[in-house]
Structure 1
Amino acid sequence: MTTTIAGSIGADRPAAGWPTRLREWLAFVPLLGLCIGLTAQALGRLDLATAAWTLATVAGLAVLLAQVVTRLARGDIGLDLVALLAMGGALALGEPLAGAVIALMYTGGQALEAYATGRAGRAMTALIARQPRTALRAEGGVLRDVALAALVPGDRILVRVGDVVPVDGWVAAGRAVLDRSSLTGEALPVTLGANEPVLSGTVNAGTPFTLVAERPAAQSTYAGIVRLVEAARSAKAPMARLADRYGLAFLGLTLLLAGAALAATGDPLRALAVLVVATPCPLILAVPVALVSGLSRAAGIGVLIKGGGALERLAGTRVLVIDKTGTLTHGSARLVSAQTLAPFGEAEILRLAAALDQASGHPVARALVAEARTRGLTLPQPTMVTESPGAGVAGWVDGRHVRVGGARLMRRHAVSFPSVDGPLDAAAATATVLVAVDGAPAAILTFSDPLRADGHPALAALRACGIERVVLATGDRRDVAEALVAGLPVDAIAADLDPAAKTATVVAERRNGPVMMVGDGLNDAPALAAADLGVALGARGAAAAAEAADIVLLVDSLTPLPHAIRIAKRARAIALQSVWVGLGLSLAGMVAAALGQLTPLQGALAQEAIDVMVILNALRVLGGAGETRAAADRGDPPEP
């Protein structure tokens, strides 16, 4: 049984492009030949037994040769060469039974590994398999089944019972009862009323309802998740690349030991036995299975990790830089006061500011739009909109130039407001938004966005997982940030940051160890990309943040992150455990074969047992979910 890392790190992907069904049949051919040969031998027909074993070996050899040639053309030199030499040597030395066993090991091993990685990646594969292809769109009073690519913002879509919601939008008619378990791991459905936002990828578990599309299908939450899953399935982890390098060293050691045995004894069977025992190497079996198992476990709790490399880095992070709005807070701010400045009235200011904020995805902007709609205000479409991430937004509404943002944006354009740097309501964790119309100060809006209930427990759990330093990085005022994190396990606060300064904060923290940045907004994207590990929080976060991040939390909560760290550490520990134990047993078998203590047939059977053992051990990553979560809650160290 052998394959290269490049061909096995993806979940249930055929090695070297061979279809899975074909590999199952190819595994059956050597098994059939081996059984026919053993039956013929028992009946005294050694000629028929030899022919059956020879044909079984040739079948396996033909498949292996095609794959080796394909990989060599890509510059991929793997331990398949050892299997090729072992099968060819068995035929040349008149050991057809050993050759048939090796052929069965090779083809059966590919099928076994495909099953193991397929089982490990089941959660990620299910996300892709559920992706809808069409939707029922209302057209002139008639429902038509259209391709998702044909949907545009504003389309009214009927979501039937059991349907997967095809695009992001909001409830226009009816009541939506949605099952979000496949995305977030939440067991209980949620109920949404009129105008409430709906995520694509959730399942309608109630009665049919009408959805108004918010964005095209290609830009929806679920489409983004599918792209991230595909990236996770194809990414190659540093540990996997390390396994490739060690695999080449193991290949050289195998050939050296086989050559030494032949030179010392003159017995080619000893050299053949060494090759057989080295076919394959546990190094290239345990790593992909363990890492894909870890990716699948994390996906099952609502944490989408973009490949084994991110999983490995997650296991080693020491510093956490965390954003405030939408991360430590809910990101669902509420307008608590509106101080208008003459000659502007409150309703007119809210209408103009909310109309402009329709073009922004910031949580405070969404809160302002929601407040205006609740008051029944009609919001025209803004034009010539420009947004400065972390500062604010500007544009034209009904022929008037409007700016909405913080003090930094207003200072940049020389708009002078009354002092907004006075004391704030610390308990409410308030934030201030300024509105300017036609270059004149118009209003000071105060929003409340309190700390998440899970904020303190999550940070404490992250500390228990090995995070040694926590830094709050925010674009808000320092007094707001200090009021928010009072009593939390936070070591430092970096306030009043624009995206560039937030990125600089992440880079500076690297002196304290590998940095994990957690954020959800467009202004967090550069910092997420600059960190050793970027984590985007919430499925409705900015698309740029999700693309820049290495990990996306599909559930709108920090709670799964400590559990994901435990899973990552467990996956890495089990992978290394399988590698070193398997390598030790393989090397011991190779030495025994070189000393004449194992025949080629005995070596083949021993190596098959080692391979099965390391794969089953790597699959332990899929188990122990309850134990891992309980250990995270208690703060115990991870155990493989």
Structure 2
Amino acid sequence: MRRYLLLAWVILGLLAGVAATLLGHPEAAPWLWSAAALPVAAHVGLGLVRSLMGGRLGVDAVALFAILGAVALEETAAAAVIALMVAGGEALEAWAEGRATRALTDLIARAPRRAARLEDGTVAEIDVAEIRPGDLLLVRAGETVPADGTLEDDGATLDESALTGEPLPNAFHRGDALRSGGVNAGAAFRLRAVRDAGASTYAAIIRLAQDAAASRAPLARLADQWAVGFITFTALLAGGAWLATGDPVRALAVLVVATPCPLILAAPVALVAGIGRAARRGIVIKGGGALERLARIRTVLFDKTGTLTPGRPRLAAIDADPLLGREEALRLAAALAQGSTHPASAALVAAAGRRGLALPVPETVAEVAGGGVSGMVEGRAVMLGAEGFLHAAGIDPSNGFALTAEVVAAAGSIAWLAVDGRVAAAFMLADGVRREAPRAVRRLRALGVRRIVLVTGDRAAAAAPLGRALRLDEVFANQSPADKIARVRSEAAKAPTAMVGDGVNDAPALAAADVGIAMGAAGTAAAAEAGDVVLLVDRVDRTAEAIAIARRSRQVALRAIGLGMGMSGIAMTVAAGGWLTPLAGALVQEVIDVFAILYALTALRPGPDEHAQDGLPAEAGLAERHDEHAGLRQLADELRGIGEAIGATPEVVPELAAVEARLRDELLPHQRAEERALYPAAAERLGGQDPMAPLIRMHAEIEGLAERVGTLLRLAQRDERWTTTAPELRRTIFALEALLRLHLAVEEEMLADLQGPERRGA
């Protein structure tokens, strides 16, 4: 506010002097212009004294000398215009910083101050500081979630756009964990607090935002570093012009156009603009210094679990005793797994749910931590767990499953199922790769990151396939927290290095890196505190976006400085030659200042390195088609199972007919719906010449194979044709399964940028 009042005073004095001249009182004008200029000189002088007391010589000393010199030489109009330039530059800086930090300001402004606590059936209004873990809170429509907690009602809809930058609301279900800071976009719901407000997610984000806004970037300090040299150059040029001509007005004209507002204002405005734009994308950068370091990153180290992988195991494959069958094996295992909290158990229960299996309630469930779980299911003794767990019970898991163990152990883990004392099935579990991870790696390469490395505490057999899939430069497995720190320091000695992680064990490595990037949406508080950059969206591809924003902001800041000071240098030379009067020079410098600051604000716009896509409209059907992919993957499992079951006799014909019906009733309509609405909308967003052509070609091949399966099945239903038809039918089914899996993976990767908010539970 003080900056705007000072600007208003200068404008009033300048206009008063002009009015006095026009009304026939020119003798009053110098007094009015001096009265307008001298308060600004006093303001600049106080700032200069504070700088000197802090051990810095600010470049605003040139502005002070210019104002005082103009008043002394009775160039009071020029003095008033210089004062207008200084006061206007500071006001413009305040406006620009306000616009640049709008996202950070919005975060702080939206912080809840009151909450509704349910006490004995009544609603009590309390300060958020009074919230304690275990409190039952009521969050009404339009209110901000005041603390982290668990949803106690059947459903809730939250607008988390201020946290994540994603425009669409997210739906939550009973028992889901809710983060503070989201806005209730639906009906009122009850929330069971798990933390007090001060320890919740939103409070931590606000602290990060305030730290980011308060810090001074190296580029902003660059003005102070250049101050002595710039002032010396200005003094030599002004003094030389005075000595050469004997005219002090020449020196004054040089001082006027040398006022270094572009150097003082442009750099911090550009960097703060970058911080603000990153915040709108769910990326909190802790200050301009972190942004500057981020812009120079050439090596990125990734943690594995929770960073490049979702951190949640999923069922990848089933190998079961043919007498029991895959579906029955999964049903029994998932039924028993309901009594366990292990992530592998949750993966089996989720897989059974996706297949629509009805799960009985297990009895006498006993769990051994880190081993497995046992109990009774429908009167049968069932055990589920690791190989050692079954060995301890006198059961040899390798009996009939040796090949499976050898082949799959390298890529994931196995949960063994024993029924009535005999091994019955092996469930292959894998963490998988985040859908956006391959794109994140490729985009980092496109941004000039020369080395991308995986550093994980997991075993080498599990880490190596991930490194191959993502085309990483090197993989370091079995790394302890101390090993990770040593690896980060080794890489940082060669090139500016960033470390990306999410867990407590990653926090030391994040702190040791040039830039620590924490997955703050689902990661730990320790990682978020240690990181210089916090990703509020659970998407690893925001790492590349953060680097792109940082690079653009730094480039804009340097260009704004270069353009502004270059034009000032030209104007100084012209003034030294006598072709620019002090008053005209002041007006020219004002134009240069406005140009430099407005150019710095272009950091608010995406640059050519940033390719974020808008989400597709709802009518394109992307969400619906994506939800159908789970059923299609189950269909692929059935294709593999039925292909393996094809033998010398036609007993599998009924199962074949059921699978062929699913191809006609589920797969082909799904593909037609994609080509009718989804693919045209995606092609418009992606651009280029027919970007969806590869997927459409896959559709055609899949349809051809599905039709061939139907034709072969009709032939196979004739007993006399089974022996000649079965081998070709088996080959066709395996080809269809492989192509279907490939198609689903490629399609999801191509359209991931158009997905909008990260789908929960996907």
TM range (shorter): 0.7 to 0.9
CA contact (8 A) 1:460 1:489 kept: no
Partner deviation per Cα, 1:262-319 (whole Å, 9 max, x = no partner)? 3333322122111111113422222111111111121121111111222222222111
TM-score normalised by L of structure 2: 0.67
Report the equivalent of 1:553. 535
Q: What CA distance in whole angstroms lies between the structure 1 residues aligned with 2:130 and 2:261? A: 50
Matched, 1:115 2:95: yes
Report the equivalent of 1:286. 266
What is the deviation of 1:160? 0.8
The residue type equivalent to 1:105 in the other structure is M
Matched, 1:235 2:215: yes
CA contact (8 A) 1:247 1:283 kept: no
The residue type equivalent to 2:524 in the other structure is A
CA contact (8 A) 1:166 1:200 kept: yes
CA contact (8 A) 1:285 1:615 kept: yes
What is the deviation of 1:595? 2.5
SS in 1 for 2:307: helix
CA contact (8 A) 1:30 1:56 kept: yes
TM-score normalised by L of structure 1: 0.79
CA contact (8 A) 1:221 1:540 kept: no
SS in 1 for 2:540: coil
Report the equivalent of 2:9. 29
Report the equivalent of 2:506. 524
Matched, 1:156 2:136: yes
Structure 1 residues 624 and 495: alpha-carbon distance in aligned structure 2, compared to 1, 3 A threshold = closer
The residue type equivalent to 1:263 in the other structure is L
Q: What CA distance in whole angstroms lies between the structure 2 residues aligned with 1:569 and 1:64? A: 33
Report the equivalent of 2:301. 321
CA contact (8 A) 1:331 1:364 kept: no
What is the deviation of 1:610? 0.8
Question: What does 1:2-21 align with in structure 2 at a 5 Å threshold?
Answer: 21=1
Structure 1 residues 629 and 161: alpha-carbon distance in aligned structure 2, compared to 1, 3 A threshold = same
Partner deviation per Cα, 1:540-587 (whole Å, 9 max, x = no partner)? 311110111111111100222222222222222221112112112111
Question: What does 1:57-96 align with in structure 2 at a 5 Å threshold?
Answer: 57-96=37-76
Q: What CA distance in whole angstroms lies between the structure 2 residues aligned with 1:609 and 1:229? A: 33
What is the deviation of 1:111? 0.4
CA contact (8 A) 2:10 2:37 kept: yes
What is the deviation of 1:446? 8.5
Partner deviation per Cα, 1:346-388 (whole Å, 9 max, x = no partner)? 99x999995xx9xxxxx999999999xx9999xxxxxxxxxxx
Q: Which has the higher helix share?
A: 2
Q: What CA distance in whole angstroms lies between the structure 2 residues aligned with 1:376 and 1:103? A: 81
Structure 1 residues 326 and 42: alpha-carbon distance in aligned structure 2, compared to 1, 3 A threshold = same
Report the equivalent of 1:343. none
- The structure with higher relative contact order (CA 8 Å, sep 6+) is 1
Please point out which of 473, 477, 480 is paired with 1:491: 473
Q: What CA distance in whole angstroms lies between the structure 2 residues aligned with 1:512 and 1:431? A: 36
Matched, 1:51 2:25: no
What is the deviation of 1:618? 1.0
Q: What CA distance in whole angstroms lies between the structure 2 residues aligned with 1:205 and 1:457? A: 32
CA contact (8 A) 1:333 1:447 kept: yes
Structure 1 residues 579 and 170: alpha-carbon distance in aligned structure 2, compared to 1, 3 A threshold = same
Please point out which of 482, 497, 508 is paired with 1:515: 497
Report the equivalent of 2:181. 201
CA contact (8 A) 1:574 1:617 kept: yes
- Worse overlay, 38-47 or 156-165: 38-47
Matched, 1:595 2:577: yes
Structure 1 residues 48 and 243: alpha-carbon distance in aligned structure 2, compared to 1, 3 A threshold = closer
Report the equivalent of 2:167. 187
Report the equivalent of 1:616. 598
SS in 2 for 1:325: coil
SS in 1 for 2:152: strand
- Worse overlay, 483-492 or 578-587: 483-492
Q: What CA distance in whole angstroms lies between the structure 2 residues aligned with 1:566 and 1:61? A: 41
CA contact (8 A) 1:167 1:199 kept: yes
Report the equivalent of 2:113. 133
Matched, 1:462 2:432: no
Report the equivalent of 2:751. none
CA RMSD of superposed structures (Å): 3.6
What is the deviation of 1:208? 0.6
CA contact (8 A) 2:57 2:227 kept: no
The residue type equivalent to 2:133 in the other structure is P
* Gapped regions of structure 2 (runs ≥ 5): 318-332, 352-358, 363-369, 371-385, 388-396, 416-425, 615-685, 689-762
Structure 1 residues 597 and 619: alpha-carbon distance in aligned structure 2, compared to 1, 3 A threshold = same
What is the deviation of 1:591? 2.1
Q: What CA distance in whole angstroms lies between the structure 2 residues aligned with 1:150 and 1:366? A: 35
* Gapped regions of structure 1 (runs ≥ 5): 1-20, 338-345, 358-362, 378-391, 393-405, 408-417, 434-443, 636-640
CA contact (8 A) 1:327 1:558 kept: yes
What is the deviation of 1:168? 1.1
- Which of these two proteins has the greater Rg computed from alpha carbons? 2
Structure 1 residues 501 and 282: alpha-carbon distance in aligned structure 2, compared to 1, 3 A threshold = same
The residue type equivalent to 2:475 in the other structure is I
Please point out which of 216, 230, 240 is paired with 2:196: 216
